[in-house]
Amino acid sequence: MTTTTRRYAAAAAALAVAAFAGAVALGASPDVRATCTKDPKVTQGATVVSFDVHCSVPLAAAATVTVTATPTDTPAEPSPSGSTSPSSTPSSSSTSTPSPSATGALPTEASVGTTGSLTKRAGGTLPAGTYTNVEFTSAVRLDAAGVTLRNVKAPAVTMYGTGRYVLDRVDTGGVFVDSYYNAIDGVTMTGVRVRGSDGDGVDIFSNTRFQISNVVIDGLIADGFTFPSGSDAHGDGIQVRGVTNLALRNAIVDMGPWQPQKNAALYLEDVGQGIRSVTVDNVRLAGGGYTFYTAPARAASTLRNVSIFRSGNWGPVLVEGNKADWTFTNVTGPAGQQLTP
């Protein structure tokens, strides 16, 4: 389990709340001791906008689950029994750039999340392979390369390995992609239902050492964000802290009624190696402080066919710094007005 605490200097952007503490609940016993390390880029006496502290505790081994490896970047289709045929060790990650498709239909509750009956299993760290028709009763962690979750429910899904992760029809409280230990290349999420609470719904978290790249999110509904009164946490519908090649399409992200802890429905932060080549297409966003917030892109990035159907508390859009690499096409506010960077 990893807990990341972020603290901001007084000069931080308006979206920054005084502190952030997020954790994936894994049911660890009270006597488990965490090991914490500071972000190596922070030096004594330095003035920084933000820094990160990573803490880890041991996870219990996953319960027995039928698992088989898939040898290519295209996961094998499950057999009627719900497991794939055995095969060789998965190949290395693909480095192809995701290419956004033409605008499709917005997702509905029927097109995301799980369907049919699921078999309950304990969560924990999952070996490489394909998991189908499973309800994990505790959060799952993906450390190995090449894991597919298909028609799966879990309280949370955290990715720490090198990539080739597929989430297809997954129902969860949050998805966390963290490159603290490795560069992560290749994450595909289709038909994902995120039922957020008092943190981020989807978190893509790069750093100065390792970048996350080639991420496709196609067909997503994320809502249900509610913070306890007086909480000093913060949350975004989708928080991206550094990424190369992200395609977000056919998605609905609703932060719900305004609370001070809510940052943005879509939040892109220029940390690590920065925001590079992001395309957002056919997406509806609502709520937050600024509904869409981004720092300058370091490579050409696009919003198109984006509807902000309920503005954030401070406004619908904030693009900080150099706006030259952002292109807005058919980006509209609550009154149907055209929005620009």
Residue-wise pLDDT tens for the chain (341 aa)?
443 333 332 233 333 333 333 333 333 334 334 444 444 333 344 333 334 444 444 434 333 333 433 333 333 333 333 433 333 333 333 333 343 444 579 999 999 999 999 999 999 999 999 999 999 999 999 999 999 999 999 999 999 999 999 999 999 999 999 999 999 999 999 999 999 888 999 999 999 999 999 999 999 999 999 999 888 888 999 999 999 999 999 999 999 999 999 999 999 999 888 999 999 999 999 999 999 999 988 999 999 999 999 999 999 999 998 899 999 999 999 999 999 99
Angle CA 214–128–24, to nearest 5: 75
Contacts of 30 (CB under 8 A, 6+ apart): none
Residue 61 has a pLDDT of 38
Q: Are 113 and 171 in contact (CB under 8 A)?
A: yes
**What is this structure's pTM?**
0.74
Q: Are 235 and 198 in contact (CB under 8 A)?
A: yes
Q: Are 145 and 164 in contact (CB under 8 A)?
A: yes
Residue 230 has a pLDDT of 87
C-alpha to C-alpha distance for 326 and 55, rounded to whole angstroms: 35
Q: Are 306 and 280 in contact (CB under 8 A)?
A: yes
Strands laid side by side in the 129-136 sheet = 119-121, 129-136, 147-154, 163-172, 184-195, 212-223, 243-254, 275-286, 301-310, 326-332
Residue 258 has a pLDDT of 94
